[in-house]
Amino acid sequence: MLTDLIMYDLKVAALTAVFYLFYMLLLSRETMHKLNRIVLLSGIVLSAVLPFCVITFHKTVVVDSTLTPTTVDADVDTTLPATEVLEQSFDWTIPLAAILLIGVIVRCLFLIRSYRQLTKMVRGGEMHILPTGTKVCIVDEPVAPFSWMKTIVMSRADWNSETTLSPILSHEEAHVRHRHSYDIMVVELLTALQWFNPVVWFLRQELRILHEYEADADVLSKGFNESQYVHLLMQKAMGIQACVLANGIHTPKTKKRIIMMLKSKSNRHAWLRALYVVPVVLVSLAVSAKTFIHYEYETTPEPEMQASKNPESEKKQEPIIVVDGKIIDIPIKFKEKTSIEDEEALRALNIKSKEDIESVVVLQSKSAVELYGEKGKNGVIEIKTKKKEASKPSNVSEEPVSTPMAPEPPKVEADDDPVFEICEEAPRYKDGEGGLMQFIAKNIRYPKEAAEHGIEGRVIVKFIVNKDGSCSNFKILTNTAHDTSGDPVVTQACKAELDQQQGIETEYTPEEIRGWSKSLETEAIRVLKLAGKWEPGKQRGKAVRAYFVLPVTFRLQ
């Protein structure tokens, strides 16, 4: 949350700087005061809104289901872009957020104090109402004339002066008529939120001088003598400004105002320069655009969907059935992956009813081939019955399946629940994929041995998310550890073994080299065990135990 707030403030600061820079280059010298004012205020509003506008592109990636058996509905890259080496650096987000907040509070308190001073001055003055409905507050203090909302404040000396009263009232009424006070409130709010940004203070000053340009133009358009009005401005430039929230004839930029009054009107096509706002907005949207990756997993088609004119070839395309470790050559239909609808097939398997089935596990693609060899290339349906010794069907192969080098099939724990390779709703980390990535980035420690020897790589961890959200059975599927030159650690270890066999002395033993790779695996599992509870996968709306696969990339900066 704090990081998001800081990033938002920085984006607003950057956009404000860009809009202001283009304004100063293209429009600040033009006499189109109303248009300039609109463009400047639009830049402020767009700077605050654009960080929330994110264009999303969606990309679908097809992944082999044996590598990622759980449907990871991830919109975030699950690799760790860069990990911390040895020790985690100090988290600066909290002190930075505190400094930002203190600055905002101080600036807001200052504005509140100025507003109270203004209202106190207005309440204590002598009030008059002009024919236009504008209120004029006469005060005894020698302040320069100013306006706030629909009230003009001036000193008694200015009110009693016959020569200066008329242009002063005309000037301040222009501020009231153009509603410049609302602009002041917007820009002062921006300075409170972006007090650390010097561009905002320049922008605030530019908007105020724009108000004076617009009011000056109104005064001169009513036929007042130009030289006398310039003399009045020089006179009032030495006055005392009463409040930062007010618009007044007093301003330290009197020279710029005089130059602008004497300047020729801008070319009628000069307004086209204001279109710079469009490319700035488009570039901002392009920079903030995100690509969400949706993973789709290849699955073995259901037997009834595999059409074939040749019965023999159709039979070969069906998954094999394994009952209590024995292969059975009987075609069987499944309504879903964990329920059987063919009662005749159950009798052929010597299973009296579905209640006698303890669990059904479906294996697909490579995982089935690893366990059952070539026979499992079209998938395997493993059925475990509640009987201690099931009677042998007539067409059951006597030979047990030989899987000496294959990993064990998914284990069924004490609660007799199967572990789903694929389920309707995949397990999900409690804070979402983004939260998982942030947790990993914050808590991971780059293994010291791997960092010292320049070892990088990608570790794919497979584990079970249980019904209660706990995780267990962590194991490594692949580890692509390599050095910075791209030489795999496995290759380095093999070279060291060959050198030792030939009597060549090596700098590191094969065991030490393999240890560098192993340290990445250990760290990946350690961090995932710290992640806490997950939201379990669901099948038919009920929580189930399901596998989840997560790749973690170790990369040295």
Q: Residues 361-419: pLDDT tens digits?
A: 776 666 667 667 777 777 777 777 775 443 444 444 443 433 334 334 444 444 457 88
Which among 53, 51, 42 is positioned nearest to 19, based on CA atoms? Answer: 42
Q: How far is the C-alpha of 518 from the C-alpha of 459, rounded, in Å? A: 10
End-to-end CA distance of the chain: 26
The pLDDT of residue 137: 93
Pairing of strands 534-535, 247-248: unpaired
The owner of tokens 């105020």 is: 208
Domain assignments of the chain as residue spans, ordered by start: 2-288, 303-420, 428-554
pLDDT at residue 465, rounded to an integer: 92
CA distances from 553 to 83, 238, 294 (A): 8, 66, 19
Q: Is the pTM of this model over 0.85?
A: no
pLDDT of residue 47: 92
pLDDT in tens, the chain (557 residues): 677 888 888 999 999 999 999 999 998 888 888 899 999 999 999 999 999 988 888 777 665 444 444 433 333 344 444 444 434 456 678 888 889 999 999 999 999 999 998 899 889 899 999 888 899 999 988 888 888 888 999 889 888 888 888 888 888 899 999 999 999 999 999 999 999 999 999 999 999 888 988 888 888 888 887 777 877 777 766 555 556 666 666 555 777 887 888 787 888 888 888 899 899 999 988 888 877 665 555 544 444 444 344 444 444 466 778 777 777 766 555 544 444 546 666 666 777 777 777 767 776 666 667 667 777 777 777 777 775 443 444 444 443 433 334 334 444 444 457 888 888 888 999 888 888 888 888 888 889 888 888 899 889 999 999 999 999 999 998 888 888 888 888 888 888 888 888 888 888 888 888 898 899 999 999 999 988 889 999 988 889 999 998 888 888 87
Type of residue numbered 222: K
Residues 439/431, Cβ–Cβ less than 8 Å: yes
Phi first, then psi, for residue 419 (nearest 5°) are -100, 120
DSSP string for residues in 310-368: SHHHHHHHSPEEEETTEEE-----EEETTEE--HHHHHHTT---GGGEEEEEEE-HHHH
- What's residue 340's pLDDT? 54
Q: Which CATH architecture has domain 428-554?
A: 2-Layer Sandwich (3.30)
Measured distance CA(267)–CA(509) in Å, rounded: 80
379 closest CA partner among 316, 318, 297, 445: 318
Contact 339, 355 (CB under 8 A): no
Q: Rounded to whole angstroms, how far apart are CA atoms 430 and 247? A: 53
What pLDDT shows up at residue 422?
A: 80
Quick one: which of 86, 150, 85, 153 has its CA closest to 117?
Answer: 153
Residues belonging to the chain? 557
pLDDT of res. 366: 64
Residue 334 makes CB contacts below 8 A (sequence gap 6+) with 302, 340, 341, 381
Q: What is the CA radius of gyration of the chain?
A: 38
**pLDDT value of position 246:** 65
Alpha carbon 368 to its chain's center: 38
> Do the Cβ atoms of 455 and 516 come closer than 8 Å?
yes
Query: pLDDT at position 237, please?
Result: 64
Q: Check residue 371 and give its pLDDT.
A: 67
At 153-187, the pLDDT tens digits run 988 988 888 888 888 888 889 999 999 999 999 99
Token pair of 160 as six digits: 């009693």
